[in-house]
Every structure is written in structure tokens, then in C-alpha cells.
Structure 1
């Protein structure tokens, strides 16, 4: 009958034959553990090249969600490239939109994005005093008589008309004619025109002190005619009027007036497309105060992202958690690698203590 030897080797009997089983050497096991931990460490370190920066960026976006200017700066990183700036400037020049082209030049200079001298010359020529005056005269007249203006001259004309009460009377008359013809009446415009008459009287009585409020009403009416005021925003303003929230309404209109004076009417109109309430108007004011003439290009580039965190919060949370888990994995892998190196020596010292003579 075959005999099974225990040490120094072990044998197993399979189909009547002896097969040697290698002894479990603790040094070999420690080596396997070391290389496994080292491989995990390399994997986590490689993933950190993508995960950690994305997690930091996501965390920065979440942290800056209440600061429109900071939020815009963070989202412009990696978006406003020299190629993107060149495309936007060329498109604006093709559309004869000198204001948009100049805004992109200003934004590119502020962020250190290179623009060719040839494009700068074309933008400068498009914004020459003669060309600007020709466009501005027509825009001023259109703004004065119709209340519609999408540039600084148009806003100046609309504001001039409103300051002479002509603009508010004109708007009330237009809505009265719609009512007489049986056509829909824009109650929102009627409310704004009524407030405008009161604000104009207050402006004259206070020698121009509430001029920002008056300008804000002009911006809001012009934006309504241009179709950039959403139904939700108009509904919130109407609810504030009915609820008697004069302080909130005054702050909202004042914010729009400030945004228009700092960034221009075009930029304010573009931002109003993404505003739903007074908090959004306050964000737009902060952005306009921080960016000035660059606001139009910022809103054109980022859209709603210029004012709000547009990415899904779940995506932002995923990148943040992935970055945290990656850092944890790096630490755990490094710890396992160190333990795998030290463990054989620790076990050897322990065996020596166990076999010491009493």
C-alpha cells in the first residue's frame, strides 16, 4: 500500500499514481500579493489622469453654481479654443453682426485666446464710427417709434421713447387696438406700460434717480416683443404684480436695467432666454457686471450654462464620487503593497518567538 509523506513534500494519490504538490512558500505568496497590489496601484494611478481632474472640475462647478461669473469662467475652460473663436468671429462678420464679433474679440483677449491680425482688422473695420453711426441711426429710430431694439442704439431709442411717456402710451394704444379688433391682448405688456408711466413720473420727480428701473422696464418690454421672455418668467412677474410684491419686482427690473447698461441690450436679451425668475435675473446682472461687453459672447458660447449648471447633477455627482473612490483605491493599493512586503518578515519574527525555549 502506498505511503503518504507529509514533509518536506506532500503527495496526493490520483488514479493509483503519486503526484507531488509544491509546498506553500510564504515568500512566494507574499510576492504574488505584492505584484497584485502593485498592479492595482498602477491601474488606479492611470485612471487618476482622467478621473481626478474631471472630479475636481465637477466639484468646482457645484461649488460655483451660485456665482454666475465664476461658473461661466469654469465652463469656458476647454470650450473657447482658438478654432471656436475664429469660427464665431467669422460667422458674426458674415451675418454683418459687428457687435457679436467685437464681443468675441474682447472675450478672446481676456482669456488669452489668440486671434489673427486679419480678423482683428475686419472686426475693427466693421465697428468703424461711420458704419456704427449708419446702423445706430436706424436702430435708434426703430427703437423710439416701435420700442424694439436689439443693440445699444435701439435700446437708447426705446428708452428715449419711454422717458417721454410716448413709449408706454404707444404700447397701451397698440394693445387697445388689439382688444377693439377682438385680437389677443398681451396683459403682460399692459402691466409693464402702466408701471412704466408711474416709473417715468417718479424719474422726473426724483430728477432721474430711478433711471435704472426705467431702463429695466424698457429692456423687459423690448425683450417681450422680441420673443425672448418665456411664459414662466412672464407668469412670475404677473404673479408678483397681483401679489403686491413691489420690492421683488423693483429688484428684478432694476437687475435687468443694470445688466443692460453693463453688457448691452443684445446680451441682456440673450440672457433673458434662459431666465425664469428673479433669481435668474440677479444671476444675469452679476454676469453682466463681471463680463461687460464680453457677456454677449459668453452667452452665445455657453447658452444656459452661462447662468446655471446645465449638466445633470447625477453626472457631476458621479465624477466627484469616482474621483473620491480613485483616491481611496490609490491609498488602499499602496497600503496593500507595503503590507505584502513587510508581512513575511513579521511572520518570521513571530515564528522565532513561538519556538524560543522556555
Structure 2
């Protein structure tokens, strides 16, 4: 008889946690007990998973006992403290935070690209990449397998939900302030109307774009931009890959978009790129601009795949492609990739 592993979802009451519970209820049910864990202030709540109301437990060592796979959908500092505890108790941890992504003893896994990496986990922890990396990496990885990637220049248009529930609340509050007004016609009028209610963003997001995401890094780069670079290199096993990213917050609730300039080792054609992407798992090719067919965040939100369109060969470089990708940052960008990793581990643990 196949064993059904015990799954613990840490951070079940957050934005990503809510999506994770949907996914666990929609996917093939490979799990035995599913425990829901969150901060003490959320303990006692009941959430639906697999059609059943399940009480949320407070995060503590006892809540992690007997867990086979633990999903961490929590801020970096909480994951850094509690994931090693869960691993020490015998669980395989799948962490959605940045805490362990660059640890050489922790695989960084995208199942469509490097599924084999999940089996080598010296610390008992597997990391899932950031939401912006996940928006682009499935398409880039498919093209890299054919042409050999040598350079990426990307501009990421990040949704408010990438900053969590506070980001969504801030955007919605700002939109209510500017709705039905003539704001946006004079310098600073939106900023004055919004005031200090910018939430987690350094400026107003309604009727605006904010060219910053993350915390300050070296030489003017943000932590988010540097993470895209390092995560992409690790997933593709290309430690010297040239990657340059610019992150911009846009007034979109959910779904990140990325404009990609990808240079390869060999000449590329749009026709061959179309063939590759049309048959790549986790990718939807949606590319007929003359008919108005190209991905936008408003159209892909709530869906699982990476959507790819606007494919063009670079005008001055036969080895380079330009394209545009969109992906739901709460699904493939967070919960779904984590769930896919967990399902692979669950199948491994359940094998006789």
C-alpha cells in the first residue's frame, strides 16, 4: 500500500497560503494529513482545504512533529529561523522565501527545468525561486535548452501583490482616492492626493509606475534585481551568465510581466522559438500582435502557465530574441511552484 505523507503548510493564512490551499484542493490528492500553521494571532481560525474545515495551529515545534513535507510560505526571517527546525525533526522543507536560495547546499528548483535537483538536499531544504524569476525562467529555460543562453537583459513590471497583502491594500486605497478625478495632469498632484499612504512602495502606485523594488544593494542595484540575476544563474547552472534586470512596480493587482532580451550562443529564428515554446510544459504561446493577441496581466491572472508573446528576432543580432512574458505571481510565481516541488518529494517519499 502506498504511504500518504503528512504535509504541513506554514503561513497558511497569508496571500500565498490562500492560493496554496486552492491548489491542494484542485490537484491530485497525494497527501495524508494536511496541517495548517500560522502565527499565534491566526491560530484557531478554520480554513477549507480538500473540502474540509481545518483549524490553524500556531507555529511551534510541536506543530512540526511528524511532518514529512513542510511548505514555508512566510517572510524570510521566519523561514530562516523555523525551516532548519522542521528539517531537524525529519521533514523535507520547501521554502518559498529568499532565505536559502543562494545556499550551495540547498537546491533551487523549477520542476519544468531542473526536476532532478530536488533529490540532492544535504540540509533537508529545497528552495523555490522568487516570483519574478519564475515569471520568465520557464520560457528562458526552454529556449536555453535549444540555443544556449549567453545573456539576459530584462525589465520586470511587478504587480502590487508581489509586496504582499499590504501592497494590494495600498494600491486599492490609492485607486479609490484618484478615481473620478483629473489627477495625473500636473506635476506631483497624485503624490499630494495620496499623501503618505503609499504602503510598502516608495511612492504612489496609482496612475504611476515606481522604478524600484526591494532594498538597496551595491552600485544602485536593488536586492530584487540582484536576486533575479543570481537565481537565474543557479537554476540554469550558468554561474557566469550575464544578467541585467530592472524592476518596476506597476498599478496591477496580481500577475508580473517581464520584457526579455535574450542572447544565445547560436543563431535563432522566431519560427523555431515558436515551435519550442508551443510544446514546452508550463508555457502558453500567445503571439499574434496583428490580431491583438499577446499576454497582459489582466488576462493571465488566476492561471498557472507562463504566457509568452511579442516574439521578435533582434534587429541587429541574429543570436538574440525579444519577447514579453506574463505570469501570476501568486500561482506559478509562488504557491504553484512550491506545490509542484512538494508533490515531487511526496511521490519520492511514498514510493515503496
TM-score band, normalised by shorter chain: under 0.3
From the two aligned structures, give the one with the greater strand fraction.
2
Please give the TM-score of this superposition, normalised by the length of structure 1: 0.21
From the two aligned structures, give the one with the greater helix fraction.
1
Q: Which has the higher contact order (CA 8 A, sep 6+)?
A: 1
